[in-house]
Structure 1
Amino acid sequence: MKTSLEYSSALAIARRVIQANGSAVTAAETALGPAFVQVCRELADGSGKVLVTGSGTSGAVAMRAAHLLSVAGTPAFYLSPADGLHGGLGVLRAEDTVIAISKGGSSAELNEFCKRARTLSRCLIVVTATADSELASLADYLLPLKLPADADLGAIIATGSSLAAAALLDAITDVTRVMRGYGWDQVLYTHPAGAVGRDGVCLAPAADDE
């Protein structure tokens, strides 16, 4: 049944969601530490590809992360657990790295994928909000997110939790880019299209922070 909302009530709901999302993104900092830096070093030093995976909303975050890693000089691609278990795992080689994203870490399909992917690759990196999950136990490198209780809509829809995971992967992307010595000139060379290619020369920083 549809519900009629007063103007003030509609805005109150919207503000609550935006504030919860903001708090969740800030909470991504809880995953920063020695393991985070080691993950970035592994990605920067690796000679293979990075396979990023996840199911549902985490899959959308994984797809985005794979694209941004590639843009920033770390060869990456997305593969869903379902496609992986239907033969896609054959893409992995010993020099490759796998990143798995899951809030709860209890997806049977994702966990089975990661069990097999771990034996075919260099290492498994897990981003999750559930550090005692089965998925977390499979990780070579675990990046646990400690999220506010109200991070997600109704504690069901992965709103804030997915934004927190995306923020953490963004941080990994840029730290790894700097570790690789992949400058903005190289980013612009492989991203010549759109507004980035048109305006990027003027907008790119002169140098990276160290």
Structure 2
Amino acid sequence: MDVNEVIRAAKGRIAASGAAVAAVAEAIDESFVRAASLIIDCPGKVFIGGSGTSGAVAHRMAHVLSVTGTPSIYFSPMDSLHGGAGVVDARDVVLLISKGGASQEVLDCADVMRARGSTVIALTRSHDTDLARRADISLALDVPQDTELGGVVATGITLAQAAWGDALAEVLMRARGYTLRQFHATHPAGAVGLLDELPADLPPLTLPSHDRTRSEASHG
């Protein structure tokens, strides 16, 4: 057994994963601001869905947003086609995650959600996917092929999507003025719940209104 070869393989995969996360910074543009503004102005809840590994990312993202002041719910696009879509209405925002933007159940879900009056945000590899074209707001996030295991297993992209969600959570948390004391109040269990003192709150951040970002996008 070549221990050094095993170590090199493991280090190489970690380096590739790091490159995938680093690629997220280049994907942040005005469409990110429009999506964040839309979500913070949303009078209802945020529903986040995806299939397969994108579904695992959606579940994590919904949790991180919820604990930082943006009530969010994970849902399965396939289950939404079996009656689950009934929970969504025109007050809500639906964020659908799909690297390829071509999974049929996700596309059908987008159509149903829009028909119910909700606003659909798509997070896919480009603005030229079927899902992006069916959404109200398209967000493009891709990673180099070599950051995916074997070039096809969704490893790097899921880390990138998760990092994108963390960026969204911070922006929304700071824009809402959501404090760490508020976070602590909903997190009484575990090591966090045992804290007697909390760090300083994150500095405030101002987001433009959704109407303004939509107007700027239409004239841009």
- Smaller-chain TM-score bracket: over 0.9
2:200 and 2:121 map into 1 onto residues whose CA distance is: 30
Q: Partner letter of residue 52 of structure 1?
A: I
Q: Quick one: which of 123, 126, 140 aligns to 2:122? A: 126
Contact persistence 1:94–1:120 (CA under 8 A) = yes
1:84 and 1:205 map into 2 onto residues whose CA distance is: 40
Report the equivalent of 1:6: 2
Tell me if 1:208 matches 2:203: yes
2:135 and 2:26 map into 1 onto residues whose CA distance is: 18
1:49-92 Cα distance to aligned partner (Å, 9 max, x none): 10000000000000000111110111110110111011000000
1:107 and 1:127 map into 2 onto residues whose CA distance is: 13
1:71 and 1:118 map into 2 onto residues whose CA distance is: 27
Tell me if 1:50 matches 2:49: no
Count of equivalent residues? 205
Alignment of 1:1-210 (within 5 A): 5-199=1-195, 201-208=196-203, 210=205
Q: CA RMSD in A?
A: 1.4
1:55 and 1:30 map into 2 onto residues whose CA distance is: 25
TM-score, structure 1 as length reference: 0.93
Q: Partner letter of residue 9 of structure 1?
A: E
Runs of at least 5 residues in structure 1 that lack an aligned partner in the other structure: none
1:45 and 1:181 map into 2 onto residues whose CA distance is: 14
Contact persistence 1:98–1:121 (CA under 8 A) = no
Between the aligned residues of both structures, percent identity stands at: 43
Query: 1:45: how far off?
Result: 1.5
TM-score, structure 2 as length reference: 0.89
2:8 and 2:89 map into 1 onto residues whose CA distance is: 50
Contact persistence 1:97–1:121 (CA under 8 A) = no
Query: 1:203: how far off?
Result: 4.0
Check 1:206–1:64 CA distance in 2 against 1; reply closer, same or farther (3 A cut): closer
Query: 1:197: how far off?
Result: 1.4
